Structure 1
Amino acid sequence: MAVTHNSLSREGSGGLLDISSDNSDSSNALLAPLDYIRRVHWRSLVIRLGWFLVPSFLQGRHLSDQARPAKLGPTAYLDGMRGIASLCVFFCHFGYQSYSLMHGWGGEGANFNIMRLPFLRLIYAGSPAVSIFFIISGYALSYRPVKHIRNRNFKEFASGLSSMAFRRGIRLYLPIVASTAMCVVLVRMGVYEWTRPITLDHTYLRNIIENHANIFPSAYEQWRKWAVMILDGFDLFSWQGFDGYRYYDLHLWTIPTEFRCSFYLFAVMITTARLQTKFRFLTVAVVMYFTYTRSRWDFLLFLFGMVLVEWDHIRGAHTSHSSSPTLPLGEKEADKSVSTPKAIFWQVLAIVGLYLMSHPDIADTTTPGFAYLSSLIPEWWDAERFRYMHGIGAAFFITAVGYLPRWQQFFNHPVCQYLGKISYALYLMHGPVTKAVGYHWQKMAWDITGVEGDAYHVGFVLGACFCIPTIVWCADIFWRAVDIPTVQFAKWYENQLIVKAD
């Protein structure tokens, strides 16, 4: 930007560049351009910051290339499905603080609210969504390696798998470092103290009250606990549930599970890479059976994702022209038309899958429509009972959708695709933002509507109308500020360390 004599002279009332001024005035005149540049610099930063805070879906053509919607390919529907699942997890954690959500319709001879019916309860059911996460993760991580295995391109297989293994921890944990560090800052600033009285008043939140982190006597103690928590999350050698994140964000228990299952999946792919297809399927089936008998539902779902992706390669469900290990975008559409009898079969399987995912978390033996199904769960099953049917249901549903273009079209809708892009950010942000801001919105809504009888439900919905946009907005910002740069940083960092080809 050109700086003119006139523009500078207007900065003061005494004529900053007046040659008849004394030496002091002349000295001030020399500082004027610097002051102006500083003001322009900060003005530009403020404008850029303000524009960055605008949600990406409102930025249009000004959106950065990394955040711009990509061309959809035949597996893009899985991104959309993951986005919807992430939203359901958010609804679960938002709702269970006010209502008991674990019962199905009619469980224990009560709980006859319409929203507890099968299919409808999936809107706020978090556990089935986690099963969907794990299958899609197994699918996404296996997509490129399995393609290289089938093409007998073992050099690319080794290179690609090495790259994924190196970047996996960065991809999963760097956003967690940022989100939990944000929690520590909010706690130290006293933001959580502003909402603590709301969590202690059961007039408003009447069911599960999540942990509200306290201010430690010193910043050192607070940050030390945070650092230990982050490091403990990297433990690959224990199948015990990790509750280390519970203090700042209890929703993050799935991330160490994702990390652990990812590396076990990499080991299975390496072990079976050079086997013939039939023997690879047989070997993976044996591993899956062993995993099943140990009630390791999480790793079992990852393995199912691997099996499903190879089957999709075999049946020609999609072609690949991308080197990215994530779900490919920009691929050619394959012919997915199916005959009417087959279409009916896959539609029925999808519906059955949704029904099984509606399995109640508790009191399943007394819930109409699920009492018999609950009797099929083996007595030796050590994990939570609902994981059994939720995992089967998720496997049925994801498999069926791969054959149903109408379902894929739904998940390819721009809203679903957007939710897929911000899914990890939404997962990380909904807890801290609810505690810092969401409780204020909810209390404000209940103060308007009252909390007696149906007024409580009206207030809950009114509060949600403010909380949901706020959390989606914060997730959008976190996605662009942390999530996208994390992927770029992981690639850059790996490139700095690897041995370069001659």
Structure 2
Amino acid sequence: MFLRSALPSFVADAIWPDHRTTYKLHPTSYLDGLRGIAAIIVCICHYTENNHGTLTNPYGVNGPSSWIQLPFLRIVFSGRPMVHIFFVISGFVLSVKPIKAIHSHNQEKVLAALSSSAFRRPIRLFGPCIASTFLIMAATQCGYIYTPAPTFAEQFWNWKDVAFHQITWPWSWDKDLRPGYDIHLWTIPIEYVHSMLLFMIILLLSRVRQVVRLSAVFGLIVYFLCCGKWAAFEFTAGLFLAECHVIHGPHPKLWESSEILATYPPPKPWLGRIGWNMLHISIVATWLFIGGWPNMDGNITPGIRWFLASTPEPFRSMDWLHPQKFWFGLSAAFAVWSIGELRPLRKLLEGPVAQYCGRISYAVYIMHGPVLDNTQRYVLGHPFFPAEGDLDTADYIPARPATGVRMFVGDETPVQRTMGWFIGLCLLGPLVIWAADVFWRWVDNPIVALGRRVEMACLDDSSEDYRPRQGFALAA
């Protein structure tokens, strides 16, 4: 039914409950919820930076401030640290299945899991981005958004160059390529190339003893930091956390099979429950504070300037963004660990709202840019602009009355700016969620299914050892 597919899924489920899709929780579902919340924060960040730039200043710096600019609270529109959360989570989630297979001492399953993940990874990452930017290209050529090229052929070849040299370009490792048609997709080639690095590391260490593997991964973590490679550090930190999760988690089965596998009892709380909780709360609080690192003026922001001065080499001298990346990456790795250990936070992230955000997180990340670019200037409008120049001269510009949200609430005081920010977010946020939900069901999910079908169609079933019933070819 077209009407059902065009509505947001939660609205359609409320109208047609018999067709509701149920989702089961798994041991790492809280990571899906965390990724979903992080994607929403990235969306709020770009909305705030594009329309309410003064709110991104440190509290008490550059004029009167709003309460949402205070430390800890400003994390709600701090999108840069969320990228590092994405990468740590990716390293964790991509590692769990092969690590479980390693602990079950079944090398065939390790190879099947790694092969399947590596085969499907480019389809999973690049497919939705190619589809979304193609739609943006078509909308641009039709004059709905941005400035069109003179002809469709020029527009198409420009899009082809962007898709090939920026969105699917894995050769720059951790450089911001700033892709055309959707600049926010700069993380996608970085995600892809470090996924491949992660699979190579797991394969390299899949046959060694556990203590050797953990020591080697920890050594690589330190090595990547010493080289200034923040993304490699974050993916490898996710691998380390995944191994610790498998070792200490009370899993009756470490792999989806009929084999009876060993279980690992949880470690004894040598700090005591209260001590561990306080440690994890302190880590999360530190991450929230560092996450509020302002885009500018970090050197005069209380607390942040200490982290800036304490940044080690080579991050300190690379460029003005790399000190942020060091602290964002380091705090993200610890935060992912601590959030998984704090039961109230974990339960919150396993709740229905966070899990829904997790399911549409990739679609939110892909769709929020074009949706905001196409709607925010009409919804928010502009404040009153007085006349400029002399009335009888050619450079005279008449006064322009305020429009949109700014016409109703103003834009002069911190209270007015905060109200305008909040009302605009309430109006634009549902549009982003709606577009992301539809894109998730119409494009994202079908591309995931396409990756499975392509893999199964390409598998070599001529070997006597081929056993499709095991299902490991579909490992994510």
Report the equivalent of 1:291: 224
Say whether residues 1:459 and 2:420 are aligned partners: yes
The CA distance in 2 between the partners of 1:216 and 1:318, in whole Å, is 56
Say whether residues 1:255 and 2:188 are aligned partners: yes
Cα deviations by residue, 1:152-186 (Å, 9 ceiling, x for unpaired): 11101101110100100000011001111111111
SS state of the match for residue 424, structure 1? helix
Aligned partners of 1:175 and 1:482 also within 8 Å = yes
The CA distance in 2 between the partners of 1:323 and 1:227, in whole Å, is 41
Report the equivalent of 1:229: 162
Report the equivalent of 1:77: 30
Report the equivalent of 1:105: 59
The CA distance in 1 between the partners of 2:57 and 2:329, in whole Å, is 18
Report the equivalent of 1:429: 367
The within-5 A match list for 1:144-293 is: 144-192=97-145, 213-232=146-165, 233-239=167-173, 241-243=175-177, 245=179, 247-293=180-226
Letter in 1 for 2:451: A
- Seen in structure 2, the aligned counterparts of structure 1 residues 292 and 114 have a Cα distance that, compared at 3 Å, is same
| Range with bigger deviation, 178-187 or 361-370 | 361-370
Displacement, 1:111? 6.4
Cα deviations by residue, 1:435-473 (Å, 9 ceiling, x for unpaired): 223332222323444444454543343222211111101
| Range with bigger deviation, 119-128 or 283-292 | 283-292
Displacement, 1:285? 2.2
Report the equivalent of 1:128: 81
The CA distance in 2 between the partners of 1:439 and 1:363, in whole Å, is 27
Aligned partners of 1:442 and 1:464 also within 8 Å = no
Cα deviations by residue, 1:420-440 (Å, 9 ceiling, x for unpaired): 000000000101111223332
Aligned partners of 2:59 and 2:66 also within 8 Å = yes
- Seen in structure 2, the aligned counterparts of structure 1 residues 425 and 464 have a Cα distance that, compared at 3 Å, is same
SS state of the match for residue 169, structure 2? coil
| Range with bigger deviation, 51-60 or 302-311 | 51-60
Segments of structure 1 that go 5 or more residues without pairing to the other structure are: 1-47, 193-212, 325-331
Aligned partners of 1:242 and 1:256 also within 8 Å = no
The CA distance in 2 between the partners of 1:69 and 1:368, in whole Å, is 47
Report the equivalent of 1:54: 7
TM-score (norm 2): 0.83
The CA distance in 2 between the partners of 1:68 and 1:322, in whole Å, is 25
Between structure 1 and structure 2, the one with the greater Rg is 1
Report the equivalent of 2:307: 373
Aligned partners of 2:287 and 2:332 also within 8 Å = yes
- Seen in structure 2, the aligned counterparts of structure 1 residues 102 and 440 have a Cα distance that, compared at 3 Å, is closer
- Aligned identity (percent) is 31
Displacement, 1:102? 4.6
The CA distance in 2 between the partners of 1:464 and 1:269, in whole Å, is 42
Aligned partners of 1:104 and 1:111 also within 8 Å = no
Which of residues 277, 284, 289 in structure 2 aligns to 1:350?
A: 284
Aligned partners of 1:360 and 1:386 also within 8 Å = no
Displacement, 1:138? 0.4
Displacement, 1:150? 1.7
- Seen in structure 2, the aligned counterparts of structure 1 residues 149 and 64 have a Cα distance that, compared at 3 Å, is farther
The CA distance in 2 between the partners of 1:323 and 1:476, in whole Å, is 30
Aligned partners of 1:82 and 1:133 also within 8 Å = yes
Displacement, 1:78? 0.7
- Seen in structure 2, the aligned counterparts of structure 1 residues 87 and 320 have a Cα distance that, compared at 3 Å, is farther
Report the equivalent of 1:210: none
TM-score (norm 1): 0.79
Equivalences, count: 424
Aligned partners of 1:179 and 1:429 also within 8 Å = yes
SS state of the match for residue 424, structure 2? helix
Aligned partners of 1:82 and 1:132 also within 8 Å = yes
Cα deviations by residue, 1:44-73 (Å, 9 ceiling, x for unpaired): xxxx211211211122274798x8241112
The within-5 A match list for 1:341-490 is: 341-381=275-315, 382=318, 384-443=322-381, 444-453=404-413, 455-490=416-451
The CA distance in 2 between the partners of 1:457 and 1:351, in whole Å, is 24
- Seen in structure 2, the aligned counterparts of structure 1 residues 463 and 345 have a Cα distance that, compared at 3 Å, is closer
